[in-house]
Amino acid sequence: MAQVAPVDEHLAEIQRAAVRIRGHVRRTPLLKTDLAPGLMVKPESLQVTGSFKARGAFNAVLSLVEREPDVAGVVTHSSGNHGQALAYAARAAGLRATIVVPEGVTPAKIAGIRSYGATVVTEGVTYDNREAIAEAIARTEGLRLIHPYDDWDVIHGAGTTGLEITEDVRSPGALVVPIGGGGQISGIALAIAGLSPESALIGVEPEAADDAAQSLRTGILQTLPSDPETLAEGVKSKSVGERNFGVIVGDALVREIVTVSEDDLTDALRVAWMRLKLAIEPTGALALAAYITGRVPAGTTEHPTVIVLSGGNFDPATVAALLSA
C-alpha cells in the first residue's frame, strides 16, 4: 500500500472533524460584496459564539470525550474568543471548563465566557503567564488542557473553514486569513493544500504583532519581546505555536504574510460595518484591511479573493468610538 502523504492525512482529519462537529457549529456563508466583483467574504463572525474558534473547540472537546469518556473537564488560556468557544463546547458535552484570561481583555468576551457556565480566572493573569497558569490548573484540578491554537484537534477543526470555502468556490485565487497563534491559518492551509493547491494562502498581522511575518522571512520561530499594542486583541500572542510554525514555515503552506497598520485596521472596520453591514471585531477586520490597502491580489469573478472575517465579539464602546471618529 502506498504511503499516505502528510497533507492527505491532515485533510482526512479535517474531513472527520467536519463530520464530528456538524450539528454543533454553523456552516457560515461565502458572500459576494459590492466592493469588487472579485472579492468574497467568509464571515465567521456569524459562527456560534461569534468566531471561528467554535470549530476547533468542538472538535477538540468531542475528540477528547471519544478518547476519555470519564474526563472531568477542560482548561485553556484565551484572550476571549477561544475561551467562549471552549466554554460553550464543554457545556454541550457536559464538562466543566476553566478559562484563564489576561486582565484587561474586553469585558464583553469575559461575560460571554461566564454566560456558558465556565469559571474565569483573571486575577494576576498576563499574556506572558497565562499559559503557565492554565497548565498549573490542569495539574492541580485534573483537567485536560486544550491549547487555543497549538493542538492538532483545534487546528483540524479550524480547517473546516477551508473545506467550506472550496465547496462554494472551486478554485479561489487567494485566501486571506488573520494570524495570531496560527491555528486558523494552519487548518485552512492544510485543507487548501489538499483540495486547491493552486490557490495562494496569505496571512495578515498587525504591524505591531508581526512575529509570524518575521518567522516566515527568517525561517526561524520568532517571539515578540513584549505584549504588542494593537486593537486586534485576538492576535496578541507573542509567537505562533510550534505545530503552526511547522505548517506555515516548515511545510511552506502559507505563501506570504503581510502586515497592516492600526489606521488600516480602523478603516477596514468601518468598511465592514458601514459597507458590508457585518458587525465584526477589530481582529476580524485584518484580512479586509489587507485587501482594501492593496496588499493582497484583487481576484477575479472566476478566481476570487476570499477573505476570512474571523470574529465578531467586540466591545461596543470601542467599536462605537472607532466608527464615529
> Which residues are marked as active site?
53, 79
What single DSSP character describes residue 22? B
Would you state the torsion angle of the CA atoms of residues 163, 297, 50, 99, taken in this order, to the nearest 10 degrees? 90
- CB-based contact 87:113 (threshold 8 Å): yes
Burial (CB count <10 Å: 0-12, 13-18, 19+), residue 273: middle
- CB-based contact 60:153 (threshold 8 Å): yes
Count of CB atoms situated within 10 Å of the CB of 263: 10
Selection from 221, 171, 162 nearest residue 191 by Cα: 162
Q: Which residues of 141-162 are buried (b: 16+ CB within 10 A; e: fewer)?
A: eebbbbbbbbbbbbbbbbbbbb
Q: Is 132 helix (H, G, I), strand (E, B) or coil?
A: helix
Q: Which three cell numbers stand for residue 288?
A: 479586509
